Amino acid sequence: DVWAAVFSHVAELGTVPTLSRLARGFSEVVRHPGTWEGARVRVGAGLVQGLAPHLAAWAEAWQGVAKLIVPRSVQLSAELERLAPGIKVEVAWRFDACACGEGLEVVRCGEAVRRVDDDDVVVLGDAPLVVAEGRPPYVEVCLEAFGEGPSGDGMNEFGIGLTACDPEELEELGAVAAEVPNSWVVDFTRNLVCLSINNCEEAKGYRACSTGLQEGDRVGLRVSPRGDAIEVFINGELRDRLLPPPDKAVPVGSKLFPVLDLFGRAAQIS
């Protein structure tokens, strides 16, 4: 119990293989329920395959977690429900390789996407954003790499937004994010941000733009509780607020999937 309490301050699922080499008894410590009591445990997409044969033991260890965050997997969710129905499970979206334009490549088990061509550069998330009381829809990505020289039209850099369309029901993606049906997309240009709804420009903001963005910066969108505003964040700081027409507000309570494009300099995001 003492060692479990100590390791509870540093234990993360991704570090278990490395830390297990420190001592023979470490595996017992990391599978002690006290190690994970009250923690938010994230199962990365790359860990799912190795976790599967040992899921029963881990499910027992995770009985007291505050939340278990997993990638979308019908089989994994079913097994967790069978083994530990009391665990609160949250599904985190990944980039969907089946809803990805030919100009993009999904890498790192869906945790990142990179541009391989200049055409058809839109991609959707494979699961809806998590929404709860006091937690409005929010999507955030990291700009991992920029390409050398201009791309696209030389003005638009990338688009980030939301769609009420389930990726599995889409017949055609379109070339950029704004062309996805039932979508609210914010395009970053050199001088401003532009909100397009169903591929029609509806609002502009001048307090955020692509100029000055660097590799490693985080860009996010949050929908207001009533769906009447889309807020733009850069590195966790609110930078702009775009107001759609009242009849084109984001429907409250609808399932919203991330939709993005890498039209300009942005060459890889996660």
Per-residue model confidence as pLDDT tens digits over 135-147: 899 999 999 999 8
209-226 tens-digit pLDDT = 999 999 999 999 999 999
This model's pTM is above 0.85 = yes
List, in sequence order, every beta strand (DSSP E) within 82-192: 89-92, 95-100, 104-107, 112-115, 122-125, 138-146, 156-163, 183-189
* Beta bridge partners of residue 145, listed in sequence order: 268
- pLDDT of amino acid 10: 46
Per residue of the chain (270 residues), give pLDDT as tens. Answer: 544 444 444 455 655 555 555 555 666 777 777 778 888 888 888 888 888 888 998 899 889 989 999 999 999 999 999 999 999 999 999 999 999 999 999 999 999 999 999 889 999 999 999 988 788 999 999 999 998 765 555 567 899 999 999 999 988 888 889 999 999 999 999 999 999 999 999 999 999 999 999 999 999 999 999 999 999 999 999 999 999 999 999 999 999 999 999 988 899 999
d(CA 163, CA 130): 14
Q: Which of 43, 89, 87, 42 is nearest to 61 (CA)?
A: 87
For residue 82, what are its two tokens? 């069978």
The alpha-helical segments, DSSP class H, found in the chain are 2-7, 16-19, 26-30, 33-36, 48-51, 55-61, 74-83
pLDDT, position 30: 72
Looking at residue 4, its pLDDT comes to 43
Q: Decide if 46 contacts 109 (C-beta within 8 A).
A: yes
How far is the C-alpha of 245 from the C-alpha of 197, rounded, in Å?
Answer: 10
Residue 14 confidence (pLDDT): 59
| Domains by residue range for the chain, with CATH | 2-92 (no CATH), 95-269 (2.60.120.920)
